[in-house]
Chain A
Amino acid sequence: MNTSTKGIGKVIFSSSLGTLIEWYDFYIFGMLAKTISVQFFPDGNETAALLSTLAIFAAGFLVRPFGALFFGRLGDLIGRKYTFLLTLVLMGSSTFLIGLIPSYKSIGMAAPLLVLLLRLIQGLALGGEYGGAATYVAEHAPDGRRGYFTAWIQTTATLGLFVALGIIMVVKGSMSDAAFTAEWGGWRYPFWLSILLVGVSIYIRLRMSESPVFAKLKSEKKTSVNPLKESFGHRANFKMVLLALFGAVMGQGVIWYTGQFYAQSFLENTVKIEFMQNREILLWAIGLATPFFLVFGALSDKIGRKWIMLAGMLLGVIFYRPIFGMLLKDADAKEWKQRNEGMRYVKKEGLINPLIKLDTIKRNNETLQITHVKETWQMSEGMRFTLSYADTAALIIQDPLAINDSAKPKIIFSAGPSNILWVKADQKPVYSDKILSPALKWKFIGLIWIMIIFVTMVYGPVAAFLVELFPTKIRYTSMSLPYHIGNGVFGGLVPFIATLLSTTFTSDPLVGLWYPIGVAALCFVIGALYLNNKIDKNIND
């Protein structure tokens, strides 16, 4: 039984730093999805470009299980240390290279294809990283404190997100929007930064020693000859892989991604909070919630892992719709406008307000005049938003008696000769770039913080849970696959499936939540019925 904590600090630092950087590399892509969609896809349909970018983002998640199989096997054959050194090199170099790809305008279809290829390499690398890092720390941790020490690794995913957000905010804040979104603009800097961060981490990891548990196994010549076959070909172990996936990690994955990634995407694309404030809200919520990974990891050492994880899932199932509904309702700028408390126009970046642009389009016998209007308003409480709408008028030169019934209700006036008619189309106002008042901003931070607490409950104990489920000689392989299916597939697809649902069922802006709610509910039931709350003290077998 291992009760010593000597040297554990260095182990945690060296493992966590590299893992954090890998998460950072993986997440800057998602954080910049909207900017990237403009660069690497043709002009035209913004939603299609965003969806395609999210699909490439999702592709990186979908290959994680394959990375888990490849690198998990390697880690069980040759050792943890060199395997997750290799994953770090792959991740860092592919991230750096994404930042070097020219835009679609310069190299056409090669742009999105290259991005996809590098994104797939990122996914493979990440698939190998986590299992190695969690196993490495767990195999050094003393018995009775495994939950607490592996929880440090669990903080790295959220901290990676935090660093990604922070760096993007710093870069964006230091330049104009135009400079940030230019083809070779500031949005590339976070990608280029990765190579420096990775260099430091590689240096630190090279100085690490192999896991003592694995080293012992290797010296006794008891390592697995075929970890894949032993993990998934033997029924006794395979059934535990299935239980880990469907009873724990599947739900953990959707809770993780809904509370952080989908929350950020929802605030940006549905609620339409202004870019910088959106990121600020996430940063505060993440920063204030991160210590709870350690709290729940330590708590799981005392009371078991199972019920803490399942409680996090259940809370998500119950509270997601109310919380997201509140985010939407409280940021209803139309309602702000109707309240009309000391509202005034605001000048932004030297532009006149309102900004009016007139387009004239000729089509067959018809001339359309479309007036695009963009107004920026500010209320006395400090709330601000941009209201955009298109006012369309059509000059129709034809026999007025031939106007069909469906057009008649829209006719606002007829002027001049009887063969000329003006028809006003419906306005569709869009409220965007919303800036919340300080009080409302903190309410939003609180709501996102609550969802991240659910994340800490499901994620804090899960590394120790997975390590304890499998024997040493096939641990890296066995725990990596369910982890990356649960997180990479179920969790990683949350933004994509939610966006797909909301573009189909447009009447309900919260419809995308049914996917994570359904998955978490199913996982809760399976986990409650079949998981064991006992902690395996001996992971050396």
Chain B
Amino acid sequence: MVIAPVVIYFLVMGAIHNISSTGTKDINKPIPWVIIITIFTPIALGLMIFGWYSLKGEYDKLPESSDELE
């Protein structure tokens, strides 16, 4: 649950730090950052949900048949 927001924080800070219209390196272009942040945000959200489930003990016993998934 903690790692997900930390990752997004670092990605956003990286974008703020590196994106520059006067920069000449490829890291200065906004598009790669926008794409990466857009892609990883829902995944980070999924990681937070996973963390929440694990804290609640949802993975303490895994289902052994499909009936338990109904």
Contact = CB atoms under 8 A, between A and B. Distances in A.
Contacts of B27: 500, 503-504
Interface in A476-521: 485, 489, 493, 496-497, 500, 503-504
B32 A242 contact: no
A302 to B, nearest CB: 20
Given A62-B39, A530-B54, A236 B63 contact: yes
B9 interface: no
A405 B70 CA distance: 78
B66 A489 contact: no
B64 to A, nearest CB: 7
A534 B64 contact: yes
A485 B69 contact: no
Contacts of A42: none
Nearest to A534: B64
Contact of A497 (B36, B50, B64, B67): B36
B26 to A, nearest CB: 5
A163 interface: no
Contacts of A489: 39-40, 43
A245 B46 contact: yes
A55 B30 CA distance: 13
Nearest to B59: A530
B3 interface: yes
A177 interface: no
A236 B46 contact: no
Nearest to B47: A246
Nearest to A505: B27
* A: contact size bracket: 20 to 34
B21 to A, nearest CB: 15
A408 interface: no
A471 B69 contact: yes
A48 B58 contact: no
B53 A239 contact: yes
Given A485-B43, A489-B43, A500-B26, A541 B66 contact: yes
Contacts of A353: none
A181 interface: no
B18 A504 contact: yes
A532 B26 contact: no
Interface string A79-122: 00000000000000000000000000000000000000000000
Contacts of B3: 522
A51 B26 contact: yes
A502 B70 CA distance: 47
B49 interface: yes
A246 B67 CA distance: 24
A186 to B, nearest CB: 29
Contacts of B54: 529-530
B13 interface: no
Interface in B14-70: 18, 25-27, 31-32, 35-36, 39-40, 43, 46-47, 49-50, 53-54, 58-59, 62-70
A55 B39 contact: no
A53 B63 CA distance: 43
Interface in A200-248: 234, 236-237, 239-240, 242-243, 245-246
